[in-house]
Chain A
Amino acid sequence: MKKYLPLILLILLIIFPLIGRDDYHRHLMILVLMWVVIGTGWNIIAGCTGQVSFGASAFFGVGAYTAGLFSFKLGLSPWWGLAVSGLVCMALAFPFGWISFRLRGPYFALVTLALGEILRHIATVWESLTGGMVGILIVQTYVSKVPYYYMVLALAILSVVGVKVIMGTKWGYYFLSIREDQDAAESLGINTQFYKMLSLNISAFITGMVGALYMVYMGFIDPKVVFSLHDISIMAILVGIVGGVGTIYGPVVGAFIMVGLQEFFRTGFFGLFKWLGAVTDAQAVKVAAKYVSEAHVLGFGILVVLVILYLPNGIVGDWGKIIGAFIPRRKKEVQR
């Protein structure tokens, strides 16, 4: 059963547009799949290679701006931007990694944080190129959400399968060895600088692609949205750690949970509070409903604290622990 779970999920995802006919659910699924890609991108550099990054927003934003500027400045179709965005992000990741991989652990995390913030400032200040705070508005190619859905699904499948394949090859073992002990890996003759760069570039490539896809899908970006520290970088980390750091399907699970949770709070527990307010007509419930819809960041914060304390390896990584908490293990009792 467990073996076929990814396959069943895949089939469900492929036939989803036939089931979920309204645009709201399709939109949510597109967001979930985007977060699968961003989470996977974070996971390969942070979870598999051990270089915790706060810089998902940098690559996401550069990808989105690449697509946007292709249409806004060059007058070409933004789809060309989608085609080259991954390469543009790699072009950014290369010098960045070369400079900053001399740092380790928390200090590397700080540099990536600084990179995202610097790019956000540049996008804000350089008005002649990026339009500053006004952002970039383009006309979407398709009215229907289905083409976008299949594109982002393809990207998600590609990135998850790609990471799965990579983690099974020699590269993947090198990544893991760097995560476990960089000095030991170095002394065994692994070129750690090269493999960290490789990991960062893979991460940048897929994050940039999904950034460009976000641009062509949403049709509007501004620096505050795509370079957001909280809404992109930290959300990427959340997707990673909630799902399971260093696991292949972790980001998939994490993306479903995080987007679901975000929507859960935004709609006031899926309209529960609104309904309660209408039924009881109590002022207190209405006030609570207003607060709940603003509480998603608070919910995320509490979730980070709880997950790190009690499920440090995420839902996929600690699956045995979760199951064990609910179902007492019979096998062990028999053995005794």
Chain B
Amino acid sequence: MEVFLQTLVAGILKGGLYGLIGIGMTLIMGVMGIINLAHGQLMMIAMYITYSLFQFLGIDPYVSLLISMPALFLLGMAIQKYTLNPLLEVESILPENQVLMTVGIGMVLTEIIRFAFGSDYKSVQTSYSTSTFFIGEISFSLALTVAFFIAVVFTILMFWFLLKTDMGRCIRATAQDKDAALLMGVNSKRITIITFGLGSALVAAAGSLLIPIYYLFPDIGGPFTRKAFVITILGGLGSTVGAILGGLTLGLAESFGATYIGMAFDDMIGLIIFILVLLFIPGGFKRLTKI
């Protein structure tokens, strides 16, 4: 029973962070209708920013959120403005050019980091990296718990932004119907740029929050991109609530899989869930919750 509860707690804490990754991806997917296969690589960039800030300037990873998020916001906007938006005007046979483009961008980002930092594993050792506290018999990793709560705060802020502000409404309008939004006076090109920036900033937050408990190397982006699309498909395309549920599900599944099946199956579980979801609930949780 203790093992079960422990696994449950670990899964939920991890799931909160996954939710943050998933929301960024689902926003981009909803507004632009493309799958951003450079999502994990953007997170990797944020992780390296946090790492360098800690290593060279001694800035705490949680404080560096204030730097990594705006930096990735700008990077995301630049990517959308200079590489993805021009593709809309390019005549081509394959409609999936934008997806292929994100793959190319991901490769470039990974290799630039490899040049700058080398391929070896790095980690950030903060004073609280390994500290835990207990509630009853169940141990909580301090860093992971803090990360979970910060992730929840960001998620709530994101909801507030999407539901209550003008910009948020514009984003949702563009996601629902691009042409109609354009006719209502929404500058949809600007919206796509801002959305990509926001998505990148959210995944940057997840990256910075993961740093104290995780290690990093240039190729870490790939597995997280895979996690991100599994979460998004699980949640339903473009659904923010779905992304949170998807993140939690993936976190729990990975955690239970690691405990009861074996650590080696960690990555595979996500992919198998992905296939199962496509087979049995093709719309994801969006179809079940109707949000």
Contacts and interface: CB of A to CB of B under 8 A. Distances in A.
Interface of A: 46-47, 50, 52, 99-100, 102-103, 105-107, 109-111, 113-114, 117-118, 121-122, 124-125, 179, 229-230, 234, 237, 241, 245-246, 291, 294-295, 297-298, 300-305, 308-309, 312-313, 317
A109 B96 contact: yes
B157 to A, nearest CB: 28
Contacts of A121: 265, 267-268, 271
Contacts of B99: 52, 106, 109
Interface of B: 34-35, 83, 86-87, 90-97, 99-101, 103-108, 110-112, 114-115, 222, 226, 229, 233, 264-265, 267-268, 271-272, 274-275, 278-279, 282
A140 to B, nearest CB: 31
A246 to B, nearest CB: 5
Which of B99, B103, B271 has the most chain A CB atoms closer than 10 A to its own CB? B103
A113 B105 CA distance: 17
A312 B83 contact: no
A301 B97 CA distance: 14
Contacts of A111: 274-275, 278
Given A118-B268, A308-B101, A109 B35 contact: yes
A308 B100 contact: yes
Contacts of A117: 226, 267, 271
Contact of B268 (A125, A179, A291, A305): A125
Contacts of B101: 304-305, 308-309
A229 B222 contact: yes
20 contacts: A99-B278, A102-B282, A106-B99, A107-B233, A107-B278, A111-B278, A114-B226, A117-B267, A118-B275, A125-B264, A179-B93, A245-B94, A301-B104, A301-B108, A304-B100, A305-B101, A305-B104, A308-B92, A308-B97, A312-B93
Given A107-B233, A301-B107, A305-B108, A312 B97 contact: yes
A309 B278 contact: no
A133 B122 CA distance: 24
Nearest to B114: A294
Contact of A105 (B96, B222, B229): B96
B94 A301 contact: no
Contact of B93 (A113, A237, A298, A313): A313
B100 A317 contact: no
A245 B95 CA distance: 11
A298 B233 contact: no
B278 A106 contact: no
A129 to B, nearest CB: 15
A262 to B, nearest CB: 14
A52 B111 contact: no
Dominant secondary structure at the A interface: helix
B87 A105 contact: no
B83 A298 contact: no
A2 to B, nearest CB: 21
Contacts of A302: 104, 108
A326 to B, nearest CB: 21
Given A46-B94, A99-B275, 17 more contacts: A50-B93, A50-B94, A52-B96, A109-B96, A121-B265, A125-B264, A125-B265, A234-B107, A245-B93, A294-B115, A300-B107, A301-B105, A301-B107, A304-B100, A305-B108, A308-B90, A313-B93
Nearest to A117: B271
Nearest to B90: A312
A237 B104 CA distance: 11
Given A125-B268, A308-B97, A312-B90, A298 B275 contact: no
A304 B34 contact: no
A229 B93 CA distance: 24
Given A99-B279, A106-B34, A309 B94 contact: no
Contacts of A300: 104, 107
Contacts of A102: 282
B96 to A, nearest CB: 4
Given A118-B271, A298-B115, A304-B100, A105 B105 contact: no
Nearest to A244: B93
9 A-B pairs closest in CB distance: A304-B104, A301-B107, A312-B92, A298-B111, A301-B108, A121-B268, A52-B96, A305-B104, A106-B35
A312 B268 contact: no
Contacts of B106: 301
B279 A304 contact: no
Nearest to A241: B100
Contacts of B110: 297, 301
Contacts of B94: 46-47, 50, 52, 241, 245, 312
Contacts of A103: 278, 282
A107 B274 CA distance: 11
